[in-house]
Amino acid sequence: MPVNLLYADGHDLTHPYISPLFGEFAKGFPPTLLTTGTRDLFLSNTVRMHRALRAAGIRAELHVLEAGLHPGLPGSPEEEEINSEIRLFLDTLGQRAG
Tens-place pLDDT, residues 1-38: 788 888 889 999 999 889 888 988 887 889 999 998 88
List, for residues 66-84, the tens digit of each pLDDT value: 877 766 667 777 788 888 8
d(CA 29, CA 2): 31
Strand partners, 60: 32
The 10 Å Cβ neighbour count of residue 57 is 11
The 10 Å Cβ neighbour count of residue 93 is 14
Write the CA distances from 68 to 14, 54, 98, integer angstroms: 26, 23, 34
Distant-in-sequence, close-in-space partners of 89: CB < 8 Å, separation ≥ 6? 31, 33, 61
